[in-house]
Structure formats: C-alpha cells, structure tokens
C-alpha cells in the first residue's frame, strides 16, 4: 500500500466512525529529540488553561525521532544516524483553580530503527529534500562526535533507560472564557544516564510564559497560542566542554476545529543553540514545524497526532512522529 493511499484511508475511516465530542484545542507538546538536545530540560508548549482544583490529567506520549546527518568541519566530525524512541508519562494535578503541579518521566531508547525507507517515501510524497539520508545506510545506529581525532561522543549499540525527571509548577496569571495566560517553572532532575544519552546528569531550571486565545471560526472553533521560555543548563556530562549555560526557546501555533471531534493544527517551535560549536548539528538554533491534529476519543480523552519536520536542517531530527494521549479525571 502506498503512503498516499494509507493517509487517505485513515482520514476516510476516522471521518465515518468517530462520534461527536466537544474538543479542546491544545498545543503540540513536542521538543527537539536530537540525541544531544533531548538531554536538556527546555520547557515545552502546553495549554495555559489550568485544571480545576482537585482534578487530575494523565498524558502518555510516544515520539519516534529519525536522525540522519553527517558533517565534517574544522577538525570536527559528527554523525547522528539512528532512531530514538521516547515514551513519556505525564501527570498534572490542580492544587487550586490557579495553581497546578506537574511531573514528566520519560523512557528513552536509542536504536538502529526501521523507518528510513518510510521517511524517504514521506519526503517524496510531500516533495521534501532527503538531506544526508541518501548517503547513509538504512537502519543503523551511529551517534558519534569527535574533535581532532578524539572521540567526545560515541553510541553504536542499542541502549535504553529512564530519562531526566521533570517537575513543574504552573500559575495561571489571568483567564477568561476564551483566553488564558500562565507562568510555569520547571526543574529537571538528573535521573538519566549521560553514557546512554538518556540524560545530561545535570540539574536544569526553566521559566516559561504561555498564552492562548480561542475564537469562533466559520462553523467551528479556532485558537492561537504562543509561549517563550528561558533555561539554565547545569554542568552535565554530555559534551560538557561545549554546552551553553543558558538557552531560550519559544513556540507559536494555530488550530481549527471544523468538527466536534477533530482539530487541525500547525505549530513552530524553536530554541537557541545548546552548544558553543560551529557544527550545525550542535551550534545552530533549531526550528521545527509540527503538522497534524487532535481527535476527541471521549468527553475527557484527546489524542494528538503530529509529524515534526526540521526547518533548520540538521539542527533537529530529520523527522519526528508524535503521539500524545491525554485523559482528565
């Protein structure tokens, strides 16, 4: 079955089988899952609407990031070729109508993968460039970086383990029926392993401001959202000589719900360079575009499906597939 037929079949099946539910338009909770970026604790886009006091939500996300880049510059060599799978369990609890606690615990698995040929078909389907993928062997794992012949990063065997735990406290500054503004602070604890590239083995602290505006759009509902964050990156063990002390990131997105159970969404995420290095893979800002939408699977259950493309090529994974299932109690 071709990719074009598969995509059309999914859309037709969904439109004829799902019942009508009231759907909340929320941002994509995506991040840069390059192996040298996922170890840092930058804040991500989240809905600025708080849970009611005593309410709980559970998020289970699964991301597949396909990396395919190789570069040589100034006596430096880097190859990021492989797939990273990140499964994250997130909990949110409403302390009051304006305060919310959160915790995210990821499981990170680096592997040779199996999606290289699918992603090449995806690029052909949308007329996108294939980058270095044509020059690399399919389904291999090589996360390598060396400088002047000395290896500073090397991962060629499959590995997995817990990532860095993230603790969060959110305060809703202002809210109306159609808008919200929220301030979040986040602490990343070093529960991952730098040797396995599941964590940086450093404490990171971040602060982020997010906002959203909802409005009628045609026969459905529309939404605009955005946010900005700053992070202090601790003294970790992943390329410790090059890691920046501070980083900034932001996001902006829009969504449209033409049906009670379906929302279509676009979002751009970006962050400043995480390393002081002249290689694009390490020292350039990342810019990522997420395309997809949300499906209401019940009155309190929402499924996000997205595809993340690297707009600044090589600074983030070539393609990331994103799923997030959220349920409120």
Burial class of residue 78 in the structure, from the number of CB atoms within 10 Å of its CB (0-12 exposed, 13-18 middle, 19+ buried): buried
> Of 199, 198, 182, which is closest to residue 190 (Cα–Cα)?
199
pLDDT confidence of residue 119: 72
Q: Which long-range contacts (CB under 8 A, 24 or more apart) does 119-128 make?
A: 119/66, 119/68, 119/318, 119/319, 121/2, 121/3, 122/3, 122/307, 122/319, 125/3, 125/4, 128/309
CB distance 231 to 205 below 8 Å? yes
Mean pLDDT of 86-99: 97
pLDDT of residue 149 exceeding 90: no
Mean pLDDT of 9-19: 48
Q: Enter the tokens of residue 188.
A: 């990343």
The secondary structure of 98-149 as a DSSP string is: SEEEEEEEEEEEEE--S-HHHHHHHHHHHT---GGGGGS-SS--EEEEEETT
The SS3 of residue 63 is: strand
CB distance 317 to 308 below 8 Å? yes
CA gap 81, 71 in Å, rounded: 11
Q: What's the count of helices (H) and strands (E) in the chain, helices before strands?
A: 3, 15
Superfamily of chain region 3-62+86-109+161-328: monomeric porin ompg (2.40.160.40)
pLDDT of residue 3 exceeding 70: no
pTM (predicted TM-score): 0.89
CA gap 161, 127 in Å, rounded: 36
Q: What is the pLDDT of residues 34-56, one digit of tens each?
A: 999 999 999 999 999 999 999 99
pLDDT of residue 309 exceeding 90: yes
The secondary structure of 207-269 as a DSSP string is: EEEEEEEEEEETTEEEEEEEEEEEEE----SSSTTTB-SEEEEEEEEEEEEEETTEEEEEEEE
Q: What single-letter DSSP state applies at residue 42?
A: -
pLDDT confidence of residue 114: 79
- Give me the residues paired with residue 317 across strands: none
pLDDT confidence of residue 16: 47
């Amino acid at each position: 079955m071709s990719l074009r037929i598969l995509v059309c079949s999914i859309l037709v099946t969904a439109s004829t089988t799902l019942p009508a539910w009231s759907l909340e338009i929320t941002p994509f909770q995506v991040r840069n899952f390059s192996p040298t970026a996922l170890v840092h604790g930058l804040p991500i886009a989240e809905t600025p609407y708080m849970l009611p006091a005593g309410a709980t939500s559970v998020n289970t996300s699964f991301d597949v990031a396909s990396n395919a880049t190789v570069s040589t510059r100034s006596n430096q060599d880097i190859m990021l070729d492989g797939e990273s799978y990140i499964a994250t369990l997130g909990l949110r609890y409403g302390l009051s109508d304006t305060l919310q606690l959160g915790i995210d615990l990821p499981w990170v698995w680096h592997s040779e993968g199996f999606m290289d040929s699918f992603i090449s078909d995806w690029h052909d389907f949308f007329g996108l460039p294939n980058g270095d993928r044509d020059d690399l062997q399919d389904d291999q794992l090589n996360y390598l970086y060396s400088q002047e012949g000395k290896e500073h990063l090397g991962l060629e065997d499959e590995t997995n383990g817990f990532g860095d735990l993230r603790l969060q406290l959110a305060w809703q500054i202002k809210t109306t029926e159609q808008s919200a503004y929220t301030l979040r602070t986040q602490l990343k604890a070093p529960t991952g392993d730098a040797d396995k590239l599941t964590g940086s083995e450093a404490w990171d602290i971040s602060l982020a401001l997010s906002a959203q505006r909802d409005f009628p759009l045609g026969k459905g509902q529309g939404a605009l959202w955005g946010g900005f964050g700053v992070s202090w990156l601790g003294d970790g063990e992943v390329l410790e000589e090059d890691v920046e002390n501070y980083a900034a990131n932001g996001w902006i997105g829009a969504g449209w719900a033409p049906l009670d159970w379906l929302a279509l969404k676009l979002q751009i995420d970006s962050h400043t360079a995480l390393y002081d290095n002249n290689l694009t893979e390490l020292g350039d800002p990342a810019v990522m575009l997420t395309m997809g939408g949300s499906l209401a699977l019940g009155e309190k259950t929402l499924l996000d499906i997205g595809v993340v493309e690297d707009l600044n090529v090589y600074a983030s994974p070539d393609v990331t597939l994103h799923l997030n299932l959220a349920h409120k109690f």
